[in-house]
Amino acid sequence: NLGRDDERFHEELVVRPLSGDHVNTYFQFTTRWHYGEKDNLYHTQLTPRVIAELLQQFAVKELHIGLTQGLWRYETWGYPIVEATSGAEMWAWFSGANLTNRDVDRQWKELANVFSGVLCASLNFVDNTNSIAPRHLIRPQFMPANGQRFVRYATLPREIVCTENLTPWKKLLPCGSASGFASLLNSGHVHNTKYHSLGLKVRVLCEDHDEDNCIVELTQTANLVYDLRLFELSNNDFSLRRLFGMGLNGYCELAESSKIYVQRNELGERYQLVPEPVHEVKTTRGGHSVVYSVYDMHEQFKEAGERLFNVAWLAPKSANRRRNLAKPSLPPVTVHRYLLGHGQERGRIVTEVTNSHYDALPIMLQEVIPWYVHAYLHTLSIRRKPQRVNEYGGQRLTFKLLHYTPGKQRELPSHLEIGFMLPGQTSALISIDVDYLLLKWLEYPPDANHGHYIGSAIVSSQLPMGRNYTALPPEGHLFEHSFNATRPSYVLSLHTEALIVSLPTPDFSMPYNVICLACTVVALAFGPIHSVATKMIIVGRQTSAPKNFVKKIFNQLFRRGKATDETAAEGEGLPAAGAAATGVASGRAAISPGSPSGDQPLLEDLDEEEEEEQD
Amino acid sequence: MDSKFFKLLLLGGAVRFYFCRTPLAPMIGNRVEFATPLNSHKRMQEGIFLLQSGIDPYLGDLVHESPLILSALSGLFQKYPQFLPIFYIILDICTAALLYAMSLRFVKQKQDQQDKERKEYAKDTEELQFGPLDKLDIPELVIVAYLFSPLTVMSCIGMTSTVISNLFLAFFFYCLVKGMLIPCLLVLAFETVRSFYPIVLIAPLLLVFSRNSVRRGVAIAALFIVSCLIVAVANYFVLNSWNFLDGTLGFIFYFRDLQPNIGLFWYFFTEMFEHFRTMFLITFQLNATVLYLVPLSIKLRKEPLLLATVLVALMAVFRAYPSLGDVGFYLALLPLWKRCWKFMAHGFVVFTFFLVTLSMMGALWHLWIYAGSANANFYFGATLAFSTGQIFLITDLLFAHVKREFCLFNGQKILIDGEEARIVLK
């Protein structure tokens, strides 16, 4: 449908009031380019050059990067439009002729290095020790059924998202932060939110078996959740100026469309919008209806003149208290994850999945357990309980699908994927025993006692209805494509909390001491054993040393007199020694003729001292 | 076999059966002093589970047991897990029975040798010679030292695979004393492919079976190499993969897992600078194997069983992942050298070292890992002192043996000018 060389850019902003005095603002910037064949990638207009070069260098078909700070609360906020986990997350689908696993691993690492520069994030730490090849989850959205699957996935839960990531992210946009919706994203306000997530998605869509007729689609998203109570207002009114520090100064001139969608039903029902919206859209999806008011920036700024566009949400004052206490309805599937056990030796990773729907739902769970934690697959178990009961009993579910790759220290993480059916209004507890490892002293991060992270697990399901579901369909690329997008089922993907484990730590100041002490103990064995093995037993005179100076002098005089006797004794001893030698049939020479004279050196210092004097 | 022997076996089994039903058993199975990466029951379970699930256990680095043992025990582990403690108790009782039979034979051989050499002995050396009562006393002491040693009891109830290692070593000693060459070679080859360090026991085997013939010695060495290859190929056919070599022998040599234990490796290589790691790995592995092999073989060439005992003891001290089950095994061999005890001067010191350090290890581990009020140095100090105590014991036994050999032929009291002389090494 699109002509060749078409390049289009769209801006969208979705504002949704959430439960508990929170507001979700979702930005989506979509660039789509029908470039045709690969050589045309050298001539970019709206698409960033780095994305075009990416497609020349790597056989990447789909790339997803998320940089997130904070935790999305499923129980109170429902499901986000774009799913993300805390820290940095990255996954890619590689496809091409003659690709091997080794090629894909190399490209994956290079791709991560490229984007560590593009987004100023620590994606260069993505390597084999924290990457997996997902088998069942994280399916590329347009993966052919029979095609070869080279998918790589990695998370860096320790990554902190801040200004240095937002600025280069905005630079990828055609208008940057000068005009358009991106001008609302100021660091001071973005990083004052409860939750903020930057996303980048690249898809290459080609006609079947025709690599010369392709579209590259770049989608950049920013998902923010504000806590209105932080604004210190007497009521729950808010506005764009309040959320972002300024109103809109216009729209991106290069944008095909620039629209703001405001949710008007459910929690948005009680707000009065100023200015009054001109358009409203009612969308029904999977039996669930949502009403959006639409502000088209092209219409708002049709007349010339400098002004700032602002939207204000006014809450009725009398109904504040009562409506705030209304409990939100639980979404169909919620997930949690935590660590059991105490100490730095072992524990248990527990993932809890709750199905609030009345019917059974298929559940898929993917865990990536880093190499510094040993997981024992034989301890994997799924226990279940009715949703309203607090304690888990002995009832167990069986997993219908199991994929496990054991981890290797300093090389590979453990990779676990399980699938099971979760009955309606039931909770499941998936637990696996783990041991914590002692690392080499240089393998600890600078703050070793902070602990080490285990990335979040991914839980995937298929919902039969569209309640709480706001994600885009796979074939869509604009938020408005989710309007009236009824399907037989809706693929849901959730992330659990990341975990932090305390590993045992050595004393980092001890390398030389330990080396010296251990070698000393080895020397305690080496010396005596080789001494026993290489020396002979001899017989020495039993002597005692004089105790003080006076006795020493006296002993010397006495010994000098004794020397004469010793000479005589030696002479007398010769016949006896000869007789003894004759008598010993074994011929052992242990008693040497010289021994009786006591000339052999002895071990004690004083004895040696005497002997030296004699010499 | 007399009835006392069977009573002791039953009593040893009863003690183990009692303790394996107490909360002590799972606790011991997790203690780092008994359960190492090589012999842990949890890792054995994991290996068998992965094997049965069609996953190569050696793709990860959690499983380090040989494939033949995983395959042989998988039925028992999967179908009858409640009988596992009984199985390990039976293995331990078989080890004790083998040690008893070996001791009987050994004392008889010693007495026969004495009868030939008696006229060469000095007059006052009756207490240094094997007496008539030793024929019953020494085997009894050996079996008591094995069955009722707390180290072997707890190693058994913890279901560590050191129980299997001790059984193979006891069988090796039995075949060595009995003079059965082929079973001796096979069990030594199996244990060598399984845990690398028993290769040093080829020296006492050659001393026993070559009978001073170089050609025969070379033939036996070649036969040993062939046996090792046969065992390796048999292990290969369990999984049709050579991954197990890196998972067992490679893991031992490269010391990849730094889990604390009672040996010297763990903290040394935790605090090692990466640049020197390979050099010290080679040095420490030489120290655990061939560094003492040549001088001890030359010195003890007339006493191959003492050579084997000392080599097993040095293995227990210097191997990469020692456990207290290894220590319990060689302590049970000490009654064989009962007639050397007169000359062992450090018995009290060694006993005190063992008692204090074994008590402190549990406390210091808890303070480091759970309470947080100590650090790794405390536990390292305890393991260092324990190794020192073991070294004192081994060197004391060696020196005592040398003294006994000297005094047998020269008497215990040697007079020079009417004064008693002192025996020193030179």
Q: Mind giving me the DSSP string for A516-560?
A: HHHHHHHHHHHHHHHHHHH--EEEE------SSHHHHHHHHHHHH
Q: Are B258 and A440 an interchain contact pair (Cβ–Cβ within 8 Å)?
A: yes
Cβ atoms of A297 and A311 closer than 8 Å: no
Q: Are A440 and B274 an interchain contact pair (Cβ–Cβ within 8 Å)?
A: yes
Task: State which amino acid sits at residue B190.
Answer: F
Cβ atoms of A90 and A157 closer than 8 Å: no
Q: Which residue has the higher pLDDT, B230 or A466?
A: B230
Flag whether residue A339 sits within 8 Å of chain B, measured between CB atoms: no
The answer for residues whose C-beta is within 8 angstroms of residue A182's C-beta and 6 or more apart is A27, A29, A170, A173, A175, A176, A252
Among candidates A533, A539, A588 on the partner chain, residue whose Cβ is nearest the Cβ of B409: A588
Flag whether residue A596 sits within 8 Å of chain B, measured between CB atoms: yes
Q: Which residue has the higher pLDDT, B131 or B296?
A: B296
Whether the pLDDT of residue A26 is over 80: the answer is: yes
Q: Are B403 and A528 an interchain contact pair (Cβ–Cβ within 8 Å)?
A: no
Among candidates B295, B299, B380 on the partner chain, residue whose Cβ is nearest the Cβ of A514: B380
Q: Which of A493, A439, A456 is nearest to A368 (CA)?
A: A456
Cβ atoms of A339 and A499 closer than 8 Å: yes
How is residue A278 written in tokens?
A: 């001109």
Q: Are B406 and A343 an interchain contact pair (Cβ–Cβ within 8 Å)?
A: no
Among candidates B46, B62, B287 on the partner chain, residue whose Cβ is nearest the Cβ of A522: B287
Q: Which residue has the higher pLDDT, A189 or B193?
A: B193
Q: Which residue of B has its CA nearest to A539?
A: B423
d(CA A558, CA A569): 16
Flag whether residue A571 sits within 8 Å of chain B, measured between CB atoms: no
Average pLDDT value for residue range A300-323:
70
Q: Which of A112, A187, A196 is nearest to A156 (CA)?
A: A112
Q: Are B264 and A521 an interchain contact pair (Cβ–Cβ within 8 Å)?
A: yes
Minimal CA separation from B291 to chain A, in Å = 8
Q: In this complex, how many residue pairs, one in chain A and one in chain B, have their CB atoms less than 8 Å apart?
A: 206
Q: Are B426 and A590 an interchain contact pair (Cβ–Cβ within 8 Å)?
A: no
Please tell me what DSSP assigns to residue A412. Answer: B
Q: Assign residue A396 a region: left if phi > 0, alpha if psi is -120 to 50, beta otherwise?
A: beta
d(CA B310, CA B307): 5
Residue to test with chain B: of A342, A377, A433, A541, most B Cβ within 10 A: A377
Residue A581 has what pLDDT?
A: 39
Cβ atoms of A8 and A258 closer than 8 Å: no
Q: Are A602 and B314 an interchain contact pair (Cβ–Cβ within 8 Å)?
A: no
- The pLDDT-based confidence of A211 (bands split at 50, 70, 90) is low
Instruction: Reply yes or no: is the peptide bond before residue A596 cis, omega within 30 of 0.
Output: no
Minimal CA separation from A458 to chain B, in Å = 22
For A374, how many CA atoms within 13 A lie in the half-sphere containing its CB? 22
Task: Give percent of chain B with pLDDT exceeding 90.
Answer: 48
Flag whether residue B422 sits within 8 Å of chain A, measured between CB atoms: yes
Residues of A with Cβ-Cβ distance to B394 under 8 angstroms: 525, 529
Residue to test with chain A: of B417, B419, B420, most A Cβ within 10 A: B417
Whether the pLDDT of residue B184 is over 80: the answer is: yes
Lowest pLDDT segment from A115-124, A575-584, B308-317: A575-584
Minimal CA separation from B275 to chain A, in Å = 12
Among candidates A439, A507, A517 on the partner chain, residue whose Cβ is nearest the Cβ of B375: A507
Q: Are B46 and A439 an interchain contact pair (Cβ–Cβ within 8 Å)?
A: no
Cβ atoms of A280 and A271 closer than 8 Å: no
Cβ atoms of A328 and A454 closer than 8 Å: no
Q: Are A533 and B298 an interchain contact pair (Cβ–Cβ within 8 Å)?
A: yes
Q: Which residue of A has its CA nearest to B393?
A: A525
How is residue A422 written in tokens?
A: 């979760």
DSSP-H helix ranges across A234-324? 240-244, 297-300, 320-324
How is residue A409 written in tokens?
A: 């220290």
How is residue B364 written in tokens?
A: 């210091």
Flag whether residue A535 sits within 8 Å of chain B, measured between CB atoms: yes
Among candidates A343, A529, A536 on the partner chain, residue whose Cβ is nearest the Cβ of B292: A529
Average pLDDT value for residue range B403-417:
74
Lowest pLDDT segment from A32-46, A142-156, B50-64, B350-364: A142-156
Q: Are A603 and B424 an interchain contact pair (Cβ–Cβ within 8 Å)?
A: yes
Residue A404 has what pLDDT?
A: 92
Residue B301 has what pLDDT?
A: 81
Residue A576 has what pLDDT?
A: 39
The answer for residues whose C-beta is within 8 angstroms of residue A35's C-beta and 6 or more apart is A5, A41, A52, A214, A215, A216
Minimal CA separation from B259 to chain A, in Å = 6
Cβ atoms of A349 and A367 closer than 8 Å: yes
Whether the pLDDT of residue A565 is over 60: the answer is: no
Flag whether residue A145 sits within 8 Å of chain B, measured between CB atoms: no
- For residue range B73-114, list pLDDT tens digits in order: 989 888 888 888 989 999 999 999 999 999 988 998 888 888
- For residue range B261-273, list pLDDT tens digits in order: 999 999 999 988 8
d(CA B272, CA B258): 11
Q: Are B391 and A598 an interchain contact pair (Cβ–Cβ within 8 Å)?
A: no
Please tell me what DSSP assigns to residue A449. Answer: G
Residue B356 has what pLDDT?
A: 94
Residue B79: CB atoms within 10 A of its CB come to 9
Q: Which of residues 85-144 of B touch A (CB under 8 A)?
A: 120
Whether the pLDDT of residue A595 is over 50: the answer is: no
Among candidates A405, A511, A529 on the partner chain, residue whose Cβ is nearest the Cβ of B395: A529
Residues of B with Cβ-Cβ distance to A531 under 8 angstroms: 425
Residue A249 has what pLDDT?
A: 77
How is residue B277 written in tokens?
A: 């790691």
Q: Which of residues 464-523 of A touch B (CB under 8 A)?
A: 504-507, 510-511, 514-515, 517-518, 521-522
Whether the pLDDT of residue B61 is over 50: the answer is: yes
Cβ atoms of B176 and B305 closer than 8 Å: yes
Among candidates B368, B394, B420 on the partner chain, residue whose Cβ is nearest the Cβ of A542: B420
Q: Which residue of A has its CA nearest to B405?
A: A537
How is residue B203 written in tokens?
A: 């020296």
Minimal CA separation from A145 to chain B, in Å = 25
Q: What mean pLDDT, rounded, does chain A reach? A: 79
Compute φ and ψ for A348, nearest 5 degrees. -145, 130
Average pLDDT value for residue range B14-34:
88
Residue A476 has what pLDDT?
A: 84
Average pLDDT value for residue range A543-556:
62
Flag whether residue A526 sits within 8 Å of chain B, measured between CB atoms: yes
Flag whether residue A378 sits within 8 Å of chain B, measured between CB atoms: yes
Average pLDDT value for residue range A508-515:
87
Residue A207: CB atoms within 10 A of its CB come to 10
Flag whether residue B373 sits within 8 Å of chain A, measured between CB atoms: no
Q: Which of residues 307-326 of A touch B (CB under 8 A)?
A: none
Task: Give percent of chain A with pLDDT exceeding 90.
Answer: 21
Flag whether residue B286 sits within 8 Å of chain A, measured between CB atoms: no
How is residue A438 written in tokens?
A: 């002692």
Flag whether residue B22 sits within 8 Å of chain A, measured between CB atoms: no
Q: What mean pLDDT, rounded, does chain B reach? A: 88
- For residue range A259-273, list pLDDT tens digits in order: 899 988 777 877 878
* CA–centroid distance for B267 within its chain: 22
Average pLDDT value for residue range B370-380:
91
SS3 per-residue string spanning B188-244:
HHHHHHHHCHHHHHHHHHHHHHCCCCHHHHHHHHHHHHHHHHHHHHHHHHHHCCCHH
- The pLDDT-based confidence of A464 (bands split at 50, 70, 90) is confident
Residue A279 has what pLDDT?
A: 78
Average pLDDT value for residue range A19-47:
82
How would you label B303-342 residue by residue, b for 16+ Cβ within 10 Å and e otherwise? bbbbbbbbbbbbbbbbbbbbbbbbbbbbbbbbbbbbbbee
Minimal CA separation from B167 to chain A, in Å = 27
The answer for residues whose C-beta is within 8 angstroms of residue B236's C-beta and 6 or more apart is B67, B242, B244
Residue A145: CB atoms within 10 A of its CB come to 4
Flag whether residue B423 sits within 8 Å of chain A, measured between CB atoms: yes
Average pLDDT value for residue range B202-228:
89
How is residue A92 written in tokens?
A: 């890619």
- The pLDDT-based confidence of A394 (bands split at 50, 70, 90) is confident
Q: Which helix (H) or strand (E) holds A197?
A: strand A195-207
Q: Are B370 and A345 an interchain contact pair (Cβ–Cβ within 8 Å)?
A: yes
Q: Are A504 and B376 an interchain contact pair (Cβ–Cβ within 8 Å)?
A: yes
